[in-house]
Homo-oligomer: A and B are copies of this chain.
Amino acid sequence: MGKSSFGNIFTVTTWGESHGRALGAVIDGCPAGLPLQEEDIQEFLDRRKPGQSRFTTARKEGDLAEILSGVFEGKTTGTPISVIVQNTDQRSRDYGNIALSYRPGHADYTFDQKYGIRDYRGGGRSSGRETIGRTIAGAIASKLLKELGIVFCTYTKSIGPVSIKELNPEEITRNALYMPDALAAKEAGAYLETCMNKGDSAGGIIECRITGVPSGLGDPVFGKLDAILSHAVMSIGAVKAVEIGDGIRTAGLNGSTDNDGFCMQNGAVQKTSNHAGGIMGGISDGSEIILRAAVKPTPSISQPQKTVSSAGENITLEIHGRHDPVIVPRAVVVVESMCAITLADALMANMSARMDRIKDFYSSLHKNI
């Protein structure tokens, strides 16, 4: 499979650079008959759009989604869905000085090492704009999952030293930082102002909670649901750690405090806790899936930094132009998108896990003819 593709049945292939003509995604393996409109995708793209607050870049791009194939009369047809977003505001002059130097914290150096050629007008393929393709596919996957009752709640859990203290889902979209805690959002905002005044930036943590996931998704070994989710989320630029359920904390727990017990409730098996984050042995257990991603600070800062030029000279670099002091809020929808793509794929793969269900499936078709 191509390196710019993800998924086995429900797959996404993304393309495009920050300063090229356009970016886009091809979603293949989406089932036929899913209602889909450009608005569904636009809603997701708008969540990652720049220029929405004083903490995001002023670059005012429309980032308008156009569906080019795979949808007919408002429904998917089972064929590849190609979606394109034009690059309307390229402003490559902002990036002039980076053409000749390796920016710390960016992929400039490694790109040159690997390919020997680099689109020096901007981040190119390694730009944050690359996530447009992921978000397009995430919007489609989410639409599919919603039809099955699977719902996401994704938000900023912390920015720098400021963590949420409550989880109020309604609050998430009320503040520019996508935090489910108004007070924390206010404090984080103040912290970011401080960073900006110093020409510096901040990192943070994104948490994704998914409810309504049927048990049985994922596979016992390399295809563990948590492993695929980790692949999906760690492939987002700037993510440096991924946790499932209690995550890193489990290293300090005991079996007696980490194990989730089972009990019967109204005739159904229930868990008495959810340290595991909804996945046991790589397979979803029907409870809430909980995942966290640690996002590093924006590498583009206006403070002077020591680095080298492509010509091999020690230089001091100052990156001008506006840059987001924090990536986290705009990455919330990207984390959600990658989780949605992973779940859509796992849902489809799981349909063939049992012989009795395969027989039921095909015998019901025969009756229809």
Smallest CB-CB separation from A221: which chain B residue?
B4
Instruction: Mark A304-328 against chain B: 1 for CB-CB distance below 8 A, else 0.
Output: 0111100011100000000000000
Q: A-B pairs with the 6 shortest C-beta distances?
A: A107-B281, A2-B28, A231-B231, A227-B235, A3-B223, A110-B283
Q: Which of B296, B306, B308, B357 interacts with A251 by CB under 8 Å?
A: B296
Q: Is A288 an interface residue (CB 8 A)?
A: no
Smallest CB-CB separation from A199: which chain B residue?
B256
Extra contacts, 16 of them, besides A2-B80, A33-B117, A111-B281 (Cβ < 8 A), are A1-B11, A5-B13, A5-B28, A13-B80, A14-B222, A15-B26, A17-B79, A33-B355, A105-B260, A130-B220, A148-B362, A198-B254, A227-B232, A234-B244, A259-B301, A269-B312
Q: Is A46 an interface residue (CB 8 A)?
A: no
Q: Is A49 an interface residue (CB 8 A)?
A: no
Total copies of this chain within the assembly: 4
Smallest CB-CB separation from A358: which chain B residue?
B31
| Chain B residue contacts of A226, Cβ below 8 A | 234, 240
Instruction: Mark A85-98 against chain B: 1 for CB-CB distance below 8 A, else 0.
Output: 00000000000000
Count of chain A residues near B, Cβ 8 A: 169
The answer to whether A355 touches B244 (Cβ under 8 A) is no
B-binding segment of A50-58, A119-127, A182-190: A119-127
Give complex CA distance A199, B77 in Å: 32
The answer to whether A284 touches B110 (Cβ under 8 A) is yes
The answer to whether B78 touches A354 (Cβ under 8 A) is yes
| Chain B residue contacts of A4, Cβ below 8 A | 26, 28, 79-80, 219, 221-223
Give complex CA distance A3, B349 in Å: 10
Q: Is A151 an interface residue (CB 8 A)?
A: no
The answer to whether B78 touches A204 (Cβ under 8 A) is no
| Chain B residue contacts of A214, Cβ below 8 A | 362, 365-366
- Contact residues of A between 1 and 27, Cβ < 8 Å to B: 1-11, 13-17, 20-24, 26
CB distance from A310 to the nearest CB of B (A): 10
